[in-house]
Amino acid sequence: MSIMNFGLNDVGTYLQRNTYHIPNYQREYAWTAEGEVEDFWLDMEATVQEKRDSHFFGQIVIHADTENGRKYIIDGQQRTATAVIFLAVLRDYFKKLSSSVKGALNKYEDIRIKYIGRWSEEEDELRLRLGEIDGEFFAKNVQINMPSENPGKESHKNIVNAYKYLERKMIETVQDSKDEKKQYDIIYEYYSKFINNFKVMYIETDDENEAFIIFETLNARGRDLETADLLKNHVFRKSGKSLDKVKENWSNTVDTLDNIDITKFLRHYWNSKATLVREKDLYKKIRDDITTPNKCEEFTKVLASMAEVYKGLVYPLIEGYFSEPLINQTLNNLKIMNASSFYPIMLALVQRKFEDKDILIIAQSIETLIFRNCVVAGKVANKYEIVFSRIAHKISEKELTTVEEINAEIRKETIGDLEFKPVFMIFAVKSTPVAKYVLREINDFQNDEVKALDNSKLNLEHIMPKTKGDWQVDKETHEKYLYRLGNLTLLAEKINKGIQNKIFDSKKPVYERSKLTITNMLKDFSKWDPDSIDVRQERLYDIAIKRWPL
C-alpha cells in the first residue's frame, strides 16, 4: 500500500489516462458560474492572451481501488468536471464549424473520443463518472450532448450554468471574427492551451486512507477545505452498510439547516458534548472519534435531530422551536446582542431533556451574563465561548444535573453589582438594535401595562441630537455624551423632523405625550445637560440591576 503514481501532468494526459469515478459520498457539482467557473475562465483567457507556457490547474488525488479496479477521485472532482464541461463547449463549437472548416470535424472527434469518451447505445466508454445524483444528468447534458434538460437539482443547475457561461465566453471571444476559419483558429488555440499547458499535480495511491491524508494535507491551507465537506466524506466512507441511512440523516440535516452555516452548527454541537475545539481542529477531532458504521449512523442521527434545535436558536422568533414563548424571546434578545457562543449549552440542555421552565431560567441567566459582561462591561466574548463549552460538556456528562447547579456556574462568571455600576454609569451604545433592546427591557420592567413595541417598530431618539443645531454644547462634551444610554430614549413614532435638532424645551412636549414610561419620565427634567444625562443614567441603572439580576 503506497503512492503508485505521481507527477505534473497536462490536462490532456490526465483525462486520457483512465476512466475516473466520483465516489457517491463526495459532494455534488458545486462550482458556480459567477464564482469558480469565472475564475477558471479568467485563468484560461490569461494563459492564451499572455502566451504562458503553463498554468497550474490544481491537484488531483486518486484512490486506485484494487478490489474493483476503479480509479476514484478523492480530490479534484470539481475541476475535473469543469474541464470536461469546457471541452464539451469546444467540442460543440468544432462540430458547428465542421461543415465549413477543414480540420474542425477531426478536433470534434478528438475531444469526443480521447478526453470525454466514446458513447453509443451499444458501448459506454465515458471517461468521467459522476456520483449517483449528478451522473446521469452530466452524461446526457454534457458528455453526450449539449444541455437539453431543465435542471431540477441545484447541482444540475450549476452544471448547465457552467456550460452556458463558458459557451458564452467562447462566443464573445470569436464574435469579432466573421471568417469561420479565423474562429476555428481561435478556438483551436484555446483547446491546445488547455489540454497541453494546463497542468495538474497527479497523485495516485491504492490506500484510501492514505489518499484522504494526502487530500487533507494538500488542502490544509487552501480555500477548498471545508470542515463540513471533509466530515461528510469521512462519515460516508466509514459508514459501510449503513451508508444509505447515514446519507439520509446528512441530507435531512442540510435540508433543515437550509442556509445556515453547517460548519458552525457542527462546531457548536461538538462543543456541547466535548471540550472546546477550534474550527481548524474540528474535523480531526470528529474524524478520530467517529470511526465505525454504528458511530457514523448514530452521529448523523443526532445531527439531524439537533439541526432543528439549532435553527430555532439562530431564528428564535421565526422558528419558535420552544413551546415556552419567553425562551424564544430571550434567545432573540441574545441574538440582538450578537451572542451565539452559548449555543452549546442550549443544545446540551435539549439533549438531556431539560424541561422548558428550567431552560428558560438558564437562558435568562445567560442573557444577564452577556448583557452585563459583554455589552456593558465590554469584556471579550471569546472567553465565554470557553466557559459555555465547559458548562455544556458538564451537562452532557451529567456532572451538572439541576438548574441550580448550572446557574451557579453561570453566575460565577457574571460580574457583580459593585463592578457593574461604574461601567454602566458610562455605558455608551452605538448599535441601534442593542440600544432599543436595553431601553425596551428597562421600560417594560418598570411598567408592565404599557409595553414597548418590538425593535422594528420603535424609533431610537437621541435627546441631545447627533446634529447639534441650536444646542449650546462644545464638541468634546457632545462626543462624550451623545451615545450615553442616559441620552437615549424610545418613541413609538418618529419625532417631527422639524424639531429633531431643536433644544430640549422644544422636544419636551413630545416626550410628555409618550405612553412609554422611559420617555415620559423626561418631563421631570427642566434642562438637558451632562448632569441631567448622568442623573437619568443612574435611574436607568437602578432598574437595570433588577431586570438583569445576579
Close Cβ partners of 78 (under 8 Å, ≥ 6 residues apart):
29, 30, 31, 36
- CA atoms of 228 and 390, how far apart (whole Å): 23
Close Cβ partners of 397 (under 8 Å, ≥ 6 residues apart):
none
- CA atoms of 266 and 285, how far apart (whole Å): 11
Query: Is 2 in contact with 195 (CB distance < 8 Å)?
Result: no
Q: pTM score > 0.95 for this model?
A: no
60: left (phi over 0), alpha (psi -120 to 50) or beta: beta
SS3 content of the chain, % helix, strand, coil (to 5): 60, 10, 30
DSSP 431: -
Residue at grid coordinates 424541561: 355
Query: CA angle, 363 as apex, 361 and 365 as ends, to 5°?
Result: 70
Closest CA to 484 of 420, 415, 430: 430
- CA atoms of 86 and 80, how far apart (whole Å): 10
CB atoms within 10 A of CB 398: 8
- CA atoms of 218 and 75, how far apart (whole Å): 9
Helix 227-238, helix 262-270: angle, nearest 10: 70
Query: Is 237 in contact with 208 (CB distance < 8 Å)?
Result: yes
Q: Cell numbers at residue 374, please?
A: 459583554
Torsion sign across C-alpha atoms 507, 513, 519, 520: positive
Close Cβ partners of 27 (under 8 Å, ≥ 6 residues apart):
229, 232
Amino acid at 427: F
Q: Cell numbers at residue 448, please?
A: 408592565
CA dihedral of 499, 504, 510, 515, whole degrees rounded to 10: 140
- CA atoms of 398 and 415, how far apart (whole Å): 26
Residue at grid coordinates 449555543: 343
How confident is the prediction along the chain (550 residues), in pLDDT tens digits per residue? Answer: 467 788 899 999 999 999 999 988 788 999 999 999 999 999 999 999 989 999 999 899 999 888 888 999 988 999 999 999 999 999 999 999 999 999 999 999 999 999 999 888 788 889 999 998 999 999 999 999 989 878 889 999 999 999 999 999 999 999 888 889 999 999 999 999 999 999 999 999 887 777 777 776 666 544 444 678 778 888 888 888 888 899 899 999 999 999 899 999 999 999 999 888 887 788 888 888 999 999 999 999 999 999 999 999 999 999 999 999 999 999 999 999 999 999 999 999 999 999 999 999 999 999 999 999 999 999 987 789 999 999 999 999 999 999 999 999 999 999 999 999 999 999 999 999 999 999 999 999 987 665 666 666 788 999 999 888 888 899 999 999 999 999 999 987 766 555 677 889 988 998 998 888 999 999 999 999 999 999 999 999 999 999 999 9
pLDDT of residue 288: 86
Distinct helix (H) and strand (E) counts, the chain: 25, 8
Amino acid at 402: T
What are φ and ψ of residue 474, in 5° steps?
Answer: -75, 160
Residue at grid coordinates 491504492: 206
Helices (DSSP H) in 198-324: which residue ranges? 208-219, 227-238, 243-257, 262-270, 279-289, 293-314, 316-319
Residue at grid coordinates 449549552: 345
CB atoms within 10 A of CB 462: 18
Q: Cell numbers at residue 229, please?
A: 465537506
Strand 71-75 versus strand 20-21 pairing type: parallel
- CA atoms of 396 and 352, how far apart (whole Å): 7
Query: Is 15 in contact with 83 (CB distance < 8 Å)?
Result: yes
DSSP 241: G
What are φ and ψ of residue 275, in 5° steps?
Answer: -70, 160
Query: Is 348 in contact with 392 (CB distance < 8 Å)?
Result: yes
DSSP 187: H
Query: Is 95 in contact with 112 (CB distance < 8 Å)?
Result: no
Helices (DSSP H) in 315-353: which residue ranges? 316-319, 325-336, 343-351
Close Cβ partners of 268 (under 8 Å, ≥ 6 residues apart):
310, 340, 343, 344, 347
What are φ and ψ of residue 4, in 5° steps?
Answer: -95, -30
